[in-house]
Structure 1
Amino acid sequence: MSDITTILSNPPIPPFVYLHHPHHSSTSLDLSSSSSSSTNSSSGYGSSTRIARIETVEYHTPKLLLSGILDKLSDDKDEVEVQTFDGFAVKLRTWYSAQFQPMNGNVAIKGKGKAKAKVNGHGDYGREGKEGDLSVVVVITKAERLRLVLGDGWSVITRLTELVGVPISVVLCSTIPWDNVRPFRGDAPEPIHVYFPPPTREEIISSLLPASPHPLWPRFLDLLLSTTLSLCSPSIEEIAYLSEALWPIYTHTLPPHQSMIHLNQPYPDPSNPPAEIDINLKLLTDLKYQLSLSLTSSIESLLPRQIGVHEFKKAFMKPTPSSADFGLGFGMGFGMAGRQTMLPKLPGMELSTVEKFLVAASYGASYNPPKSDLRLFGRSAGIAGKRKKGGGFRRAGYGRVRVGKVPQRLLGPKPFTFDRLLALFSSLYAEHAPRPEDLQAALRGAEDGYDDSSSASGSGSDLGSDEWGGVGVGVSANVSVQRQREKVEKKRKRDNEREKKWDEHVEELTMSTKLWSLIINLEAQGLIKRVSPTDRLDNVMLRCEVGYEVAKDLSKELRITLDEYLYEASM
């Protein structure tokens, strides 16, 4: 944080700075004071530095964002509202000019000191000295959302100095690198890049150690950091979130001791407080053992917010008979119960059958190369439509990962075209979807008609056989063979008609606007993400946002083996 402070405290300040903080939350960035009525002289900046901090989650529209910047900078108690960027530029120039007072045809900055800021006829600001110069800093957190707030033309916020004519430093803060945030048009200037390194172990301990005076609290933090820091680099807030859920599990089987009041537990006998707990190797080993399962589950479930703290603690703090007896088998009772402890399952997604097929098809499109679509999803024509092209049965995970090549499931999903999604959906739906009732009824009626005709022809043959008196054995054999051929031909005709009607039904569903509206619903739910610009109508690019386990569960509900449709199956 000292780097960004140094950059902004030494004039001239840069017009555009990008702060990348993947290991810190936006709320922990203490870049400035959010107060707009006073200057931020206590944070290491100049005595005349105005700082406006804006959160794109709160200011989620262009009107709120631009009006919020003016409201943070101005001293007026009334809220400032603007509708367009032009109105924002006019009011910002007016506010900046109001910070100066007329003096001999020029304007001088308000404040102490001998320095003066002069404005010539061309609108340029000529500085005479450094003391008293007015610096304006606009800090925007969660900058990756600017495209959603301002649209594709959000790069205007990076050029405030040249578009407004006021020396302003715009600081964009995000957990995403600039290469993934920069505008598609490439019309934003290259910023000064500042990387905020992850907190060290000593910084985390010094920040969390005052949270509890319990003698086991430092040992618990050491165990927690030894596990989490080797797997990921969470922020201090995330580690505090984990400790809030794991600390009661770590200490809930402790016998009565003097420090139990720090755990919000009363003494069994208030008149006779128990002795302090004896911290030894056996105690620490038992506590570590009873926390092992919950610690592993917390990284998998708590950090991605798949489960809440209350439900997590409720699952791992179930009372056991052995945990009530503090003298015998301490830690062993919870350990045996911990092996049987299961986290509550997430509620199932309320999706229709067609939406589930769309999610399964999008997962295959994101994790399979396009060259494998014909082999994995191709269907031959006719009644043998369930046999795949390429010969033989479909082999799960036939793709061979070369040495040194990272599997796609570890790299993440890749974008795919809208037409490819429809093609994969059509293949999956035609093969695994249940037939509609109206189509089945029509086919049954057709089959009944064929059966009646075949029975009628059969009765006529029998009469002919009785008339000849069974003399011609070869003739009767030829008649039976001919009858069998007719039955096979009629059955093939029925099957072809059935598959033709079903394929027409699937094609009609695939090209219907109702199905396309379901894709928009899945995008709103976060299951599918559109990666192409919203104003692009052709060659729409999508990406699947669900994980392997979610896609596998949805496929099971559809009676589909997901690994059979993956190029690199997780067998």
Structure 2
Amino acid sequence: MEGSDTPLPAAVFIHGKPATGKTCVVRAFVEQLPPRHWAYVNAVDRFSPRLLFEDILNQFAGTRPVFRDGVGHGYARCDTEADFILSLRKLLARPLLSTTTSTDEHRRILVIDRAERLRDMSPALLASLLRLAELTETNIGVVLISSVIWDKFRVRIGSLEPIQIHFRDYTKHILPATGQPSKDCPSHEEDVAFFLTFASAVYDVFQQNCKDLNELRYLVAMIFPIYAQPVYDGQVKREETYKLFRLTEPHFAKAADKLYLRDISSAEWTAAHQHDQDLSEQEAVGHVELPYYSKFLLIASFLASYNPARMDTRYFARHSEQTDRRKRRKNAPISRAKATRQQLLGPKVFPVERMLAIFYSIITDDVAFSQDIQLQVTSLITLRLLTRVSPADRLDDMRCRCNASYEFIRKVAQSVRFEIDHYLFEFS
């Protein structure tokens, strides 16, 4: 910024992939300017034109909204683009009451981060922002920061072509210069070189398909404790890098299966991996975190999957006592025509109406009116304890299959004191 008379570029478009330093560089520059000479807004937080306009005006005016007696004071209100341009022109024409004798008094810089969200607003908004200096007749420059290229911003309304600046991805040689790998080193790890060696190896493995710095940082933070654990246990020396990577190789492959396909982020992979471990631990101790009625629904689905439909009357008929059903089951002749037992055939598909009929039969007390049974069935499908077999658009005849194992169901039944073995046909 050489002089006050030199006009600023009307619009600058900065683009690049996430975590390449775009916002950090721009903010480091504008924060050196005096207050009220610049404004920074995030299009994610200011998701409507009104919020965007009002935040810009308040930052240039140097006011902060306060609320007294339920009424906002000192807050610029602006609903349309015409009002915004008119208010901004009047605001920027006022001289700044500053003790500093800066030659850049009449210059202003407006920074809009996550600018790709502007495409969801008014079609004329982007064209107005690019011509803001012309419309307000002031020396103001607009800086747009986005992770989307400019070709995807083009609209039918003619707009000014901005100056484009591209931030390239970090390379293996640039990353150490940023200082980020050293900052990510855990506090309990004193050997920073040991951590940087691992971070460099992670970059070599995932650089072809993962250029996002945040994703790589997630991977390093996720796998490094597994990589360093043999060293902490005294099994491997720090210099034996080959052995450490051989021990960690299965975890690399598991993470690569998800990241290469871009199914989930590394943070989501970590959460899912931890969730699988928690589920295995819960199954080992027989602890199941399910609502009371959901446990009986799961038991009913297991019975519907493994019991023949013709046996429902024998086991779940209301007109006979439980002891009589047990007696008939014990004395009933068992057909030897089929040598294969039910559990060997696997779970069968059943209609949800049959599962609900079994549920209302085995439940000992009346179901509260406030309980949404259909919602709990949906929750079991979400937890993958039930699998929906029928198409999603078919609502009249939904069919499912139980995914839970016999050992798992036994533990669920024991938690609600239900003798499931008395209701299974030819099951051992």
Scaled to the shorter chain, the TM-score interval is 0.5 to 0.7
- Match in the other structure for 2:319: none
Counterpart residue identity of residue 122, structure 2? L
Q: Give me the CA root mean square deviation.
A: 3.9
Counterpart residue identity of residue 25, structure 2? D
SS of alignment partner, residue 30 of structure 1? helix
Structure 2 CA distance, aligned partners of 1:214 and 1:32? 33
Structure 2 CA distance, aligned partners of 1:146 and 1:7? 31
Picking from 240, 243, 264, the partner of 1:280 is 240
Structure 1 CA distance, aligned partners of 2:38 and 2:124? 26
- 1:244 matched to 2:244: no
- Match in the other structure for 2:140: 168
Deviation of the 1:226 alpha carbon: 0.3
1:395-414 to 2 correspondence within 5 Å? Answer: none
1:338-487 to 2 correspondence within 5 Å? Answer: none
Shift in alpha-carbon separation, 1:80–1:26, aligned structure 2, 3 A: farther
Shift in alpha-carbon separation, 1:556–1:9, aligned structure 2, 3 A: farther
Shift in alpha-carbon separation, 1:232–1:281, aligned structure 2, 3 A: closer
Q: Give the conservation status (yes or no) of the 8 Å contact 1:20–1:196.
A: yes
- Match in the other structure for 1:82: 78
- Match in the other structure for 2:90: 94
Deviation of the 1:180 alpha carbon: 1.1
Structure 2 CA distance, aligned partners of 1:8 and 1:149? 35
Picking from 196, 200, 207, the partner of 1:229 is 207
Counterpart residue identity of residue 253, structure 2? L
Q: Give the conservation status (yes or no) of the 8 Å contact 1:51–1:138.
A: yes
Counterpart residue identity of residue 89, structure 1? I
- 1:203 matched to 2:174: yes
SS of alignment partner, residue 136 of structure 1? strand
1:173-188 to 2 correspondence within 5 Å? Answer: 173-185=145-157, 187-188=158-159
Deviation of the 1:90 alpha carbon: 2.6
Deviation of the 1:140 alpha carbon: 1.0
Q: Give the conservation status (yes or no) of the 8 Å contact 2:22–2:145.
A: no
**TM-score between both structures, scaled by the size of structure 1:** 0.41
Give the % identical residues.
19
- Match in the other structure for 2:255: 295
Picking from 143, 150, 154, the partner of 2:115 is 143
Structure 2 CA distance, aligned partners of 1:208 and 1:143? 29
Structure 2 CA distance, aligned partners of 1:70 and 1:136? 12
Q: Give the conservation status (yes or no) of the 8 Å contact 1:139–1:172.
A: yes
Structure 1 CA distance, aligned partners of 2:3 and 2:172? 28
Shift in alpha-carbon separation, 1:92–1:153, aligned structure 2, 3 A: closer
Structure 2 CA distance, aligned partners of 1:8 and 1:202? 37
Structure 2 CA distance, aligned partners of 1:74 and 1:171? 19
Structure 1 CA distance, aligned partners of 2:388 and 2:203? 36
SS of alignment partner, residue 31 of structure 1? helix
- 1:310 matched to 2:306: no
**TM-score between both structures, scaled by the size of structure 2:** 0.54
Q: Give the conservation status (yes or no) of the 8 Å contact 2:42–2:113.
A: yes
- Match in the other structure for 1:40: 31
Structure 1 CA distance, aligned partners of 2:24 and 2:263? 20
Gapped regions of structure 2 (runs ≥ 5): 66-74, 282-386, 393-428
Structure with more contact order per residue of length (Cα contacts < 8 Å, sep ≥ 6): 2
Shift in alpha-carbon separation, 1:207–1:53, aligned structure 2, 3 A: same
SS of alignment partner, residue 144 of structure 1? helix
Deviation of the 1:10 alpha carbon: 11
Q: Give the conservation status (yes or no) of the 8 Å contact 1:159–1:189.
A: yes
Counterpart residue identity of residue 40, structure 1? E
Shift in alpha-carbon separation, 1:283–1:299, aligned structure 2, 3 A: same
- 1:56 matched to 2:43: yes
Q: Give the conservation status (yes or no) of the 8 Å contact 1:26–1:142.
A: no
Structure 2 CA distance, aligned partners of 1:203 and 1:26? 12
Deviation of the 1:193 alpha carbon: 0.9
Shift in alpha-carbon separation, 1:249–1:151, aligned structure 2, 3 A: farther
Structure 2 CA distance, aligned partners of 1:16 and 1:169? 6
Structure 1 CA distance, aligned partners of 2:6 and 2:88? 20
- Match in the other structure for 1:21: 16
SS of alignment partner, residue 209 of structure 2? coil
Counterpart residue identity of residue 237, structure 1? N
Shift in alpha-carbon separation, 1:182–1:134, aligned structure 2, 3 A: same
Shift in alpha-carbon separation, 1:249–1:75, aligned structure 2, 3 A: same
Counterpart residue identity of residue 176, structure 1? V
Q: Give the conservation status (yes or no) of the 8 Å contact 1:249–1:317.
A: no
Alpha-carbon deviations, 1:121-166, whole Å to 9, x = none? xxxxxxxxxx344321111112121121234553211111111222
Structure 2 CA distance, aligned partners of 1:11 and 1:196? 26
Counterpart residue identity of residue 211, structure 1? D
Between Structure 1 and Structure 2, whose CA radius of gyration is higher? 1
Deviation of the 1:298 alpha carbon: 4.6
Structure 2 CA distance, aligned partners of 1:219 and 1:303? 28
- Match in the other structure for 1:12: 7
SS of alignment partner, residue 295 of structure 1? helix
Counterpart residue identity of residue 196, structure 1? F
SS of alignment partner, residue 292 of structure 1? helix
- Match in the other structure for 1:68: 55
Counterpart residue identity of residue 147, structure 1? R
Structure 1 CA distance, aligned partners of 2:280 and 2:119? 50
Shift in alpha-carbon separation, 1:284–1:156, aligned structure 2, 3 A: same
Structure 2 CA distance, aligned partners of 1:218 and 1:311? 27
Shift in alpha-carbon separation, 1:282–1:208, aligned structure 2, 3 A: closer
Q: Give the conservation status (yes or no) of the 8 Å contact 2:13–2:165.
A: yes
Shift in alpha-carbon separation, 1:304–1:53, aligned structure 2, 3 A: farther
Picking from 158, 166, 179, the partner of 2:130 is 158
- Match in the other structure for 1:189: 160
Gapped regions of structure 1 (runs ≥ 5): 1-5, 102-109, 116-130, 258-274, 321-552, 559-571
Q: Give the conservation status (yes or no) of the 8 Å contact 1:245–1:313.
A: no
Counterpart residue identity of residue 31, structure 2? N
SS of alignment partner, residue 243 of structure 1? helix
Tell me how many residue pairs correspond in the alignment: 271
